[in-house]
Every structure is written in C-alpha cells, then in structure tokens.
Amino acid sequence: MDKHVVLSGMQPSGELTIGHVAGALRNWVKLQHEYDSLFCVVDLHAITAKQEPAKLRKWTLDVAAMYLAAGVDPQQSTVFVQSHVPEHVQLAWVLTCLTGMGECTRMTQFKEKSDRYSDNINVGLFTYPILMAADILVYNAHVVPVGEDQKQHLELARNLAERFNHRYSETFNVPEPYIPDIGGRIMSLQEPTKKMSKSDPNTNASIFLVDSDDVIRNKIRRAVTDSESTIVFDEDHRPGISNLITLLHLATNVPVEQIVQQWSGATGYAEFKETVANAVADYIRPIRERFLTIRADTDALNAVLESGAEVARKRALKVLRKVYKKVGLVAL
C-alpha cells in the first residue's frame, strides 16, 4: 500500500521562532519517516502582508535552510518553494469558486490580521485560507502537522475537499490536522496571553532560532510571569509560568507533570527560569549551528529546492489535470 501523504508549510515573513518548532517542525521531522512528506515555504502566502522584496528572498532561503537544520531530510521529504509550483494557485482558483464569502469572513486570523494591518486589507488576505487548502489538496494530503492557530484553516480545507467530492466525484482525501497536545501554541514571553509570533515588534517576546545562547537566556530570564511564586501548569490562569514549563518540556522531553512535581517545593521563579534558560539554549544551539552551515552553501540549498520543485510539480499536475477534467475544462 502507498504511504499516506503529509504536507505542511511556513511563511517566510520573518525569522522562525521556537513556536514553529514546538507546533510544527518537530512533528514534520518525526512524521517524515512514516509518511510520504512534502514541506514547502509558502512565499505566496507571505505577500498577503507587505514584504520588502530583498527580505522576502532572504527569508525564503532562511526558512528552507531552517527546515533542514531542524532535521527535515531532503532524501526522505520533498522540500520546495510554493511559487515554484504554479499548480497550487491554479487549484486555488477552482476552490475559490466553491467557497462562500461567509466562510472566509469567519476566519479569526483574517479578522485579527485585518485589525493589525488596517491599511492593507487586501483580497489575498481574505482568500488566504483557500490557497492553503489548495497547497494541501493538490497533493491529496492525508495529514497536516500544524500548530493550534491553523485549526480553523484546516477545517476549511476539509470542507472544500468534501464539497468537491460531493459535487463532482470522489477526488480528494479529507485531510486531518496533526496538532501537538503540548506546544501547539507557544505564547509570547512578554504578553503570555498572546501567541509567540515572528512578526512581533517586541523582539524580547520571541525566541528566534537564530538567537545566540546569551540572547535566549536573557529573554527567558526576563519573561513575564505573575505575582505568585509556585510552579503550576494552568494555561488559563497562569499562562506565563505554564509557557515556561512547556518550553522546558520541549527542550528536555521531561513530561509536564514530572516537571511540576520536581519543582513543587519552589518558592520563586529565579532558579526555575535559569533552568529553562539553559535547557532552551542547549536545545536551540545545534539547530542554529546546522542552520548557519546549511545557509552558507546557497548552491546546495538551491539544488534541494530545485529537485523538490520538480518532484512536487509532477505530482501536483497530475491532481490538477484530474480536477480540471472533472470540472469540465477542456483539455488540449
């Protein structure tokens, strides 16, 4: 039997953070051995916000290099750039014609982003989740490893797959989200009720994968917690300290309950923060070091992306042809 297909992607709209690893990348690395995996850098999604061309170019290669540095193996997985495979956009058009306006209006991320970028509420931002559905369905993916914030987008992809199958005939798998129980939403170090984000203007709020050991340690030492002094995991009432516990779990693999138990006698946060700071610095260091080596060899990186695009295009074209035929578009 053929292996099931995994697909996921990240926007090159800034430097990746530890949130990207916790919510998605570490699962990509894990799943690539059991699944037929494709991982793309979604540059077309990134231009739904204003991007400086030179930065977009740099970040696209940075993100691809970070995939490899985190352990995505290009021998096992197809790694490519979204805009190198025009079939994504072609399928997106067909899906756009199946999507109700209300389905896009409802998206919480659209609402948030149109509040944040009120001077640039473009149609691309509005139809963004349809392009994401096309990214997934154009490979007939079964599983999509993402962080919690992508759940609603995934729901739309599932609805569109079902709608197409119902209207024409069985064509798409209905993709399943794969979201970690712990680490699916890493919070800002400065405002722990907000998601950690690569575009947060306060750089102390995010741990970037390119941050040095000292920068990482300092950011964690300065993380906003609360006025209590016990180490308790309660994301609703104690978001700051819970986020640090989650980071320690991510960095050491020690279960959350065990961490809480080990620190049950603590009467302050200073020592705990120091432990988290060192563990996270140790966790990020090898990723950063591999990233610097991989990123320095642009020819090798481009070669990975070129062969990835070639493989992805062949696969995407097959699905797109089938879709066009079912819809009634005349083939030449």
Q: Which residues bind ligand TYM (CB under 6 A)?
A: 7-11, 19-20, 22-24, 42, 45, 132, 135-136, 144, 146-147, 149-150, 153, 184-186, 195-196
Nearest distance in Å: CB 247, ligand TYM: 11
Q: How far apart are CA 175 and CA 217, in angstroms?
A: 39
Residue 25's identity, in one-letter code, is L
The alpha helices in the chain, defined as continuous H runs, are 18-20, 26-31, 43-46, 53-69, 87-96, 101-105, 108-116, 123-137, 151-167, 213-221, 239-252, 256-262, 270-296, 298-327
Nearer residue to ligand TYM within complex by CB, 5 or 144: 144
Q: Is 9 helix (H, G, I), strand (E, B) or coil?
A: strand
Nearer residue to ligand TYM within complex by CB, 153 or 288: 153
Nearest distance in Å: CB 13, ligand TYM: 7
Q: How far is CA 26 from the centre of its chain?
A: 10
Nearest distance in Å: CB 326, ligand TYM: 22
Residue pair 62/294 in contact by the 8 Å Cβ criterion: no
Nearest distance in Å: CB 186, ligand TYM: 4
Q: Which residues contact 243 (CB under 8 A, 6 or more apart)?
A: 186, 187, 189, 192, 223
Q: How far apart are CA 189 and CA 204, in angstroms?
A: 7
Nearer residue to ligand TYM within complex by CB, 196 or 231: 196
Which residues does residue 77 pair with via DSSP β-bridges, in sequence order? 37
Nearer residue to ligand TYM within complex by CB, 230 or 319: 319
Nearest distance in Å: CB 78, ligand TYM: 14
Nearer residue to ligand TYM within complex by CB, 24 or 304: 24
Nearer residue to ligand TYM within complex by CB, 184 or 308: 184
Handedness of CA 118, 91, 153, 136 (dihedral sign): negative
Nearest distance in Å: CB 236, ligand TYM: 17
Q: How far apart are CA 295 and CA 206, in angstroms?
A: 22
Q: How far apart are CA 323 and CA 223, in angstroms?
A: 50
Q: Both tokens of residue 328?
A: 């009634």
Sheet holding 36-41, edge to edge: 77-81, 36-41, 5-10, 143-145, 176-178
Nearest distance in Å: CB 66, ligand TYM: 11
Residue, CB closest to ligand TYM: 23
Count CB-CB contacts under 10 A for residue 319.
Answer: 17
Nearer residue to ligand TYM within complex by CB, 141 or 279: 141
| Positions marked active-site | 113, 195, 198
